[in-house]
Every structure is written in C-alpha cells, then in structure tokens.
Amino acid sequence: MAPTPLTVLTPVPLWWSLWVRFTWLAAAVTGGLVQKRLRGLSFIHFAHWSLVARWPRDPAVSADEAAPRTLVFLTNFDGSDIQYIDAFVRVVPDQIEALYGGARGFPGPFRFRPVAKYIADHSHAVDHFYAAHPDATTTAVAQALELRRRFDDFERRMAGADDATFAREWEQFLTAAQDLV
Amino acid sequence: MTALEVDDIQGNVLRGYGFPFARYVLARVRDGRADAARGWLASQADPVTTEAGWSTKPLHARNVAVSYAGLEAVGVPGWLASTFPDEFRAGMAARAERLGDAGAGAPERWDDGLRRGDIHVLVSIGGATEAAVAAEAERVEAEMADGGLEPGVVQAAAQPSDSREHFGFTDGFGQPAIAGVARHGVPGQGVPIRRRPWHRFRADVVPSRADRRLGWRALRPGEFVLGYADEDGGPPPAPAPPLHRNGTFMVWRKLRQDVAGFRRFVADAAVETGLDPSLVGAKVVGRWQDGSPLVLRPDYGDARLGNDRQRVNDFAYAGDSAGLRCPRGAHIRRANPRDALRAGGGKLTARHRILRRGMPYGPPLPHGAEDDGVDRGLVFVSFQASIERQFEIVQARWLNDGDAFGLARTADPLAGAVGEHGARLRLGGRPPRYATAMHAFVVPRGGEYLFVPGIAGLRAFATL
Amino acid sequence: MAAATDAFVVLARVRAGEADAARAAIAERWERPPRSPFAAAGGTHLARLQVLKPPGRGSRECVLLAADVDAPLAAWLERMRAVAATALDAVLGHCAFYPGASDPAAFRRWVAANRLPVGFSVIGSPDATLADVGAALALRDELGAFAERTQRMSAAELHTTWREWRDA
C-alpha cells in the first residue's frame, strides 16, 4: 500500500512559537538525538515541522481575522494514523508536549483518543504527494545507508585478500551486520 | 477497577472454553424476513453461554455474532448502525489490500459461502464431543430456518489432544492476561514491566507488589470488551446504546495451510543452511514443536518447559535484540513482540493484543506424505475491542511487513502475505543463515468481521 | 560538510474564489506517482502539493508546496521549473503575484519570497542523495540474496562468486 500523507495545522500563541524555535535549536545542537528517536518509529517515512509566523498577506482580511501563528506538521507513514498517535502518546509524549504543549486546544499528549480527535480536527487533505521510495520507511533507509557504509569499508579492506582471509572476514562482517541485512 | 459483568458478556471471549470440538454455523437473513431474524437474534440471549463461571462444565456451548451486513439485513436503524467502526462496516473483504489478501487469498477466490456479504450471522458451537456439537449445530440450523435465516456453510473444527496445529506446533496457549479475569497471574501473558525502584509508588505502571514480582502486569479489560477501561485509560469507542456495553468484535477467518509445502520448505532450508530441520522449523515459528520458546531454549526443545504453563510464556526479547536465539522475524515474535519493537518496546505492544480462540480443521497430513489435496488449516478466531487497532495492525504491520523489526518489507511466511519476491527468513546466528520462502504457507479462504453483542444487547434486538 | 539534502516549504495565497480551480488543476495535471512531475525533476526524495485553508475565520486558501530534495535546492528548483513548468503554472497560476515558470529568475524570486524556514525534519537520509538512497536499498536486497546463495560454499567458491558479483 502507498504511504499515508498527513498535514496538520495547529494555531500557537507567540510565546509558544518562541519556545518551539528554542527546542528546534536545542535539537540541532544535541546532534540529532531527537531525530534518531523519531527515526526509530519504523512506520514513518518522513516528518517535518515548520512555523508560520505570518501567513501570506491578504488585504481583504482584517488583522484580527487573519490566520494565527501556526505550527505546520507534514508527514508520510505506513498504514493508518493509529500507530502514529499511539507512538506519540506512549513512546515520545515528552517530545510531543515540547512541540504542542502550548498549542491552542491541545489536550495533552498522554491519551490516545483526545490526541486523535485533535489531529483529525486540524488535518488537511493532501492533494498530491510523491515519494521516490514509497516502500522505504526512515528505519529502512537508515539501515540501508549504514549497511552501505560498512559494506564499502569491507570491500575496500578485502581487495587483494586470499580465499581463506576473505571467507573469515566475510563471516565476521555478516555476523556483525546481520541486523541490517 | 470496575468488576466485569460476566453474566452479560458472551463466553469464550475472556476465558477460552477449552472444548476440543467446534462447529461454526454461518447464515444469511432471508429476503423479507428481517423482523423474524431480529427476533431470532434477541431469542439467542437465553441459550448463549456467558462468561459466568460453571459449577459443572456443560456438554456444549453456543455463542452468536453478527456482521455489519447482518445488522443491515435485520433492519438495525441507521442511527445505530452508523456508530459502528469503519472497518467493521466495510467488512473483511473490503479490507483485502490492508490485510494483504491477494493472489490465491484474494476475496474473489474465497470459498463459496465465505465471501463478501455471505455471512450475516455466525453461531459458534463448542463441545466436549463431536456428536454434541453436531447435534447442537442441527438444532441451531433448524431454529435459524424458523427464524428468518438461511443456514449456509457449517464449518467443523477440532483441537487435537496434544494442542498441535497442522504444521506440528503446539498452539493457543499464549493469550493475553486480562485484569479481573481468573488466572491472570500467569507470567508472560501481559505487559512486561521493567522494574524500577520507584515503581512501588506508581500504581498506574505496576498495579501491585505481585505484579512487580511477576515482571508482568495484566492488560486492562477494555482492550477486549467494550465498556471497560482500556490501556488508554477510558472505555474504547463503542456503538451507541443499547449495544455499547459488554460486547466485543470478532475476526473469523478460514486459513488453509499448505502442510506439505511447509515441510518441504523446512527440509530444503535445512539443507541450504546446514541446520537441523527441527531447528529450522523452530526458527520459523519462534518455538519448538513442544511449545518451548527459542528465546529460552535456543539449541534444543524442552517438553517439560513446553508443558509448564507458569514458565512457558515467561520471556521477553530484550536480551536477544539481535535475534540470535529467536529470529527477529519469527512468527510468535511478530504476532506478539512483547518488548521487541525497535521503538517503544512493550508500551506499544500492549495496544495490539488479541484473544485467539481458533481451532484446526481438516484431517492431519501424515508425516512424509505428499500433498493429498485435502482442505486443512485453521479456523482463525480472534476477539478484540478494535479490529483495526488490534487484528489489522498485527496482520498488516507485523505479519505482512517486517519494518517494525528491522526487516524492511519482509513478510512472515507462516501467516503473512508473501509477495512475488518471496520472504527471506533471517535465521540469526554466528554466522547468520538465510532461507527464502517463495510463497505463503497459509492462505485465507474467506471470513468476516463480526460483532458479539452482550446478553442485554442481544435482547435489545427485539425492540430495535 | 554540507548536508546532502535540502528541505523546503513554500506557502502562497490563492486568489479569492480560485481554490477549487487550483485543486482541480492538481487533480488534472499532477499524475500520481511514479509519473508525478516531482519524479521528472530528479533528486526528489519526498514532496507534496496541496491547497489548504489556514486556521482563522476569514483566512483564504493557500497552496503549500513542500519537498526534501538533493542539495542544492536552487538546482532542484531549476530542474523542476524546466520539466514541470506547465504543471506548476496550472496550480501556482492561481496564486497571487505568481510570475509563471517561464522566467527562471522571477520564479526563483517568487519561491524565495514565499518560503518558510523548516524548523525540524526527520527523514531516513538527511546526509544521502537520492541516488545514494536508491543504491543503498538495492545493495541491501542484493547482499541478502548473495549471503543466502553463498552460505554453504567453500572459501574458494565464495570468493569467486563474490568477484563475479562485484565485477558485474
């Protein structure tokens, strides 16, 4: 089955948008620890957050009717959103709280049903989406790239090796890399 | 915690009857007989067996379930029918893409009488003897005929005394432990608890000292029966009253097993890998044929462990994350990952458990025999509060797909949808060994999603 | 070291009354994968195009165009403009102040003016190009097949089979 796309727009107050920017900066500084955790949620193909501080100006709309600051969440994943929301609620609730805690109407990250309703209420149909590798989740891609790295190193080391050395080293390589193959 | 209303919950859900014989009587509502059929359903409130305890085990027991097509056919009002979940309303055949029911297992190729719209009502009969279930099935068919229903397929099933299914493995003893249900203190059946010193202050994580000692806690009953708190803390979504309480959802699925093909694959894989055939078979399943789990007995089976209900399920996979003892893609590890999911461990697994009450059908294939063309397999029956969350995610995301276990798209050849490229088994080890199954050994032949009303719910059909 | 991928999001307001036409243009001109215009540009890992209504009472619809692509973004945008100008114009032509895809500089300026910074992104391959990802996924499959095929071979047979595979 093709992956499922999701777009969620969440209004946030100014003070929360400043906090969110700070957390992103912190995540960048901590060298991708949070991304690694999220990448481990195996059914995700990608996930992407942006902050709209100011929507494109519309002169026909007055300032108090204009769209508020909004957290934009874009993602593709396998299957239904049940596993996604379950993962938010049961595996990474603290990270979700850090992103959405101050968002308008957010019910808190600890119960599935209120979060599922919040997402449903703030979702927007995706008219067209594309994935170069629709079968590949973040886990699968990360594993394949790591395997490639180790394989290239193995291949380089084995240039010119005799049969016995190659066989021994191949067995060691395969044993060490078996969780990637 | 709210006490379970056992007199209002149909039997064989929370606790298996343990009968060795079964008959499943499938029926459609006759045109123009909606009122009679609705009346018949209501009348079943008396003869069906409930979860209430027995002083003496009866000779047979009866339970009733109805599909969405059946609800419509008996004239359940639209305002009530629309409160049922989407996947139940669509029916199993419509979920084929999600379930991987393609090729030989596609709904268009299902057996007569088991296709889309064929099953309105399903009466499950369990009994102590073949004669008892046959007699009860005849009674049910006669009642149905009087009650506006046309009986269709009657599927027989039987559980051999050694509890083995057709591939030769003991089955059916790994079931979720449910809080409030007797014998829930069996280790390994619930949610694994990683014991921390502060858990003595966290009753929501570890309800009791006994659970802390056990290393497991029971699942909340709302995961399986409507109207009770589930693992999310509240009652699960349910249809509107009067069908909102003490019911559950049933998946009924006839699965044909290619026994000769499986044995041939195991033999071929043994040659290809240099491993003993019994070990290859165990690595496909995750248990030895005697039931002892590979993760506890990686090198040889242990029949005493296999027969010890207190110890046989008391294991987790945290110490075997690489799958050197039990392969990451082994059947039981996929069907119930315990703490083995790459992200979230046991916390996510707890939301995708199912109660299995199925039984083999068809005669066994003698050892060494070629395929005789006889229909044999498993009548798969599961109960869960949410078909989509529980059954479908296990089937679609864990059996048909290996990404949750770091295995990319690889399906479980035992019970998953094996695609045209086959399913490569990673038989972890030093060094690892591999074997590819080019087709599935289990193929769906038909089935349906059904609702099992509570007793009051059944009675309520009379006035809907 | 520069990252191998760039992520971007563009948000542009749709003219009053043209949201349905924009959606219809997507349905008509943007074929489903694998023939999506995003594929034609090359180097597109993931992308989406949609018309959405921002929160707020009086808000009017916007087009959202988002993608993770092989760096540098400017090169991808130019390729996209070159191969998918008609498809882009059919949708973005409903946006206020859109200059059309025929003028590369104007198109680039319009994208820059409507671009949102990406705050936080999780993909499997931030440091790999699309070609790298494809090659890695293919290698994984081939390596598994090779490991299975050679698992009982002698050292000499194994080494010979390896050379045949790698030299092919």
Model pLDDT for residues B59-75, shown as the tens digit of each residue: 999 999 999 999 999 99
Model pLDDT for residues B178-194, shown as the tens digit of each residue: 998 866 667 888 888 76
Quick one: which of A97, A90, A94, A114 has its CA closest to B191? Answer: A90
A45 confidence band (pLDDT: 50, 70, 90):
confident
Q: What was the pLDDT predicted at A180?
A: 94
User: Which residue ranges make up each domain of chain C?
Assistant: 5-116, 130-167
- Residues 6+ positions from A151 with CB-CB distance below 8 Å: A173, A177, C139, C143
Shortest Cα distance, chain C CAs vs residue B343, angstroms: 15
In this complex, is the C-beta atom of A159 within 8 Å of any C-beta atom belonging to chain C? no
B202 confidence band (pLDDT: 50, 70, 90):
low
* Paired residues of B355 in beta bridges: B383
Q: What is the mean pLDDT of residues C132-138?
A: 95
Quick one: which of B159, B152, B119 has its CA closest to B137? Answer: B152
The end-to-end CA distance of chain B, in Å, is 31
Three-state DSSP class for residue A44 = strand
DSSP letter for each residue of C9-41: EEEEEBPTT-HHHHHHHHHHHSPPTTS-HHHHH
A144 confidence band (pLDDT: 50, 70, 90):
very high
The dihedral built from the CA positions of residue B243, B245, B246 and B250, taken in this order, carries a sign that is positive
Evaluate if residue C92 carries a pLDDT over 90.
yes
Q: What is the mean pLDDT of residues A109-117?
A: 93
**CATH code 3.40.109.10 for C5-116:** no
Q: How far is CA B217 from the centre of its chain?
A: 21
Q: Is residue C5 left, alpha or beta, with left meaning phi > 0 and alpha meaning psi from -120 to 50? A: beta
Q: Which residue of C has its CA nearest to B434?
A: C148
| A171: chain B residues, CB-CB within 8 Å | 431
Q: Please give the interface size between B and C, counted as residue pairs whose CB atoms are below 8 Å apart.
A: 20
Shortest Cα distance, chain C CAs vs residue B434, angstroms: 5
Q: What was the pLDDT predicted at B168?
A: 95
A30 confidence band (pLDDT: 50, 70, 90):
confident
**Greater pLDDT, A23 or B264:** B264
Q: Which residue of C has its CA nearest to A175?
A: C147
Evaluate if residue C55 carries a pLDDT over 80.
yes
**Greater pLDDT, A149 or C121:** A149
Residue of B344, B426, B428 with shortest CB distance to A87: B344
| B410: chain C residues, CB-CB within 8 Å | none
| B272: chain C residues, CB-CB within 8 Å | 148, 151-152
Evaluate if residue A90 carries a pLDDT over 70.
yes
Shortest Cα distance, chain B CAs vs residue C20, angstroms: 28
Q: Which residue of A has its CA nearest to B233?
A: A111
Instruction: Give the C-alpha separation, B25 to B141, whole Å.
Output: 7
Looking at CATH, the fold of the domain delimited by A4-124 is given as Alpha-Beta Plaits (3.30.70)
Residues 63-92, chain A: which have Cβ within 8 Å of C?
Answer: 65-68, 70, 72, 74, 76
Instruction: Give the C-alpha separation, C75 to A73, whole Å.
Output: 26
Evaluate if residue B9 carries a pLDDT over 60.
yes
Shortest Cα distance, chain C CAs vs residue A153, angstroms: 14
Model pLDDT for residues B75-120, shown as the tens digit of each residue: 999 999 999 999 999 999 999 999 999 999 999 999 999 999 999 9
In this complex, is the C-beta atom of A17 within 8 Å of any C-beta atom belonging to chain C? no
Shortest Cα distance, chain A CAs vs residue B329, angstroms: 11
Counting as contact any 3 or more CB pairs under 8 A, the partners of C are: A, B
Instruction: Give the C-alpha separation, C84 to C25, whole Å.
Output: 13
Question: Poorest-confidence range of A26-40, A86-100, A157-171, B433-447?
Answer: A26-40
Q: What is the mean pLDDT of residues C4-16?
A: 92
Q: Name residue, tokens 């957390």.
A: A23
- For the record, the structure tokens of A89 come out as 């609620």
Question: Poorest-confidence range of A45-59, B39-53, B54-68, C106-120?
Answer: A45-59
Evaluate if residue A36 carries a pLDDT over 80.
no
| CB atoms B347 and A90 under 8 Å | yes
B197 confidence band (pLDDT: 50, 70, 90):
low
> How many other CB atoms are there within 10 angstroms of residue C106's CB atom?
13
ipTM of the complex: 0.91
Q: What was the pLDDT predicted at B355?
A: 96
In this complex, is the C-beta atom of B424 within 8 Å of any C-beta atom belonging to chain A? no
Residues 120-149, chain C: which have Cβ within 8 Å of A?
Answer: 120-128, 130, 132-137, 139-140, 143-144, 147
Q: How far is CA C162 from the centre of its chain?
A: 35
Q: What was the pLDDT predicted at B201?
A: 62
Instruction: Give the C-alpha separation, C121 to B375, whole Å.
Output: 52
**Greater pLDDT, B203 or B375:** B375
Residue of A78, A112, A178 with shortest CB distance to B322: A178
Residue of A7, A62, A67 with shortest CB distance to C50: A7
**Cα distances (Å, whole numbers) of residue B309 to B174, B217, B313:** 9, 16, 7
| CB atoms A137 and B234 under 8 Å | no
As a whole-number percent, the residues of chain A with pLDDT over 90 amount to 51
**Greater pLDDT, A59 or B332:** B332
| C140: chain B residues, CB-CB within 8 Å | 408
Q: What is the mean pLDDT of residues B328-347?
A: 88
| C124: chain B residues, CB-CB within 8 Å | none
Cβ-contact A55, A66 below 8 angstroms = yes
Q: What was the pLDDT predicted at B211?
A: 58
Q: What was the pLDDT predicted at A153?
A: 97
Return mean pLDDT, chain C: 92
User: Which residue ranges make up each domain of chain A?
Assistant: 4-124, 138-177
Return mean pLDDT, chain B: 92
Shortest Cα distance, chain C CAs vs residue A134, angstroms: 9
User: How many distinct helices (H) and strands (E) make up chain C?
Assistant: 6, 5
Total number of residues shown for chain C: 168
The dihedral built from the CA positions of residue C77, C78, C84 and C86, taken in this order, carries a sign that is positive
| CB atoms A180 and B351 under 8 Å | no
Instruction: Give the C-alpha separation, B404 to B393, whole Å.
Output: 11
As a whole-number percent, the residues of chain A with pLDDT over 70 amount to 97
Strands in A70-77's sheet, in edge-to-edge order, are A123-124, A4-11, A70-77, A44-52, C118-123
The end-to-end CA distance of chain A, in Å, is 23
**Cα distances (Å, whole numbers) of residue B458 to B123, B228, B240, B278:** 13, 19, 14, 48
Cβ-contact B411, B441 below 8 angstroms = no
Cβ-contact B294, B282 below 8 angstroms = yes
Shortest Cα distance, chain C CAs vs residue A31, angstroms: 12
Q: What was the pLDDT predicted at B207?
A: 57
In this complex, is the C-beta atom of C28 within 8 Å of any C-beta atom belonging to chain A? no
Evaluate if residue C1 carries a pLDDT over 60.
no
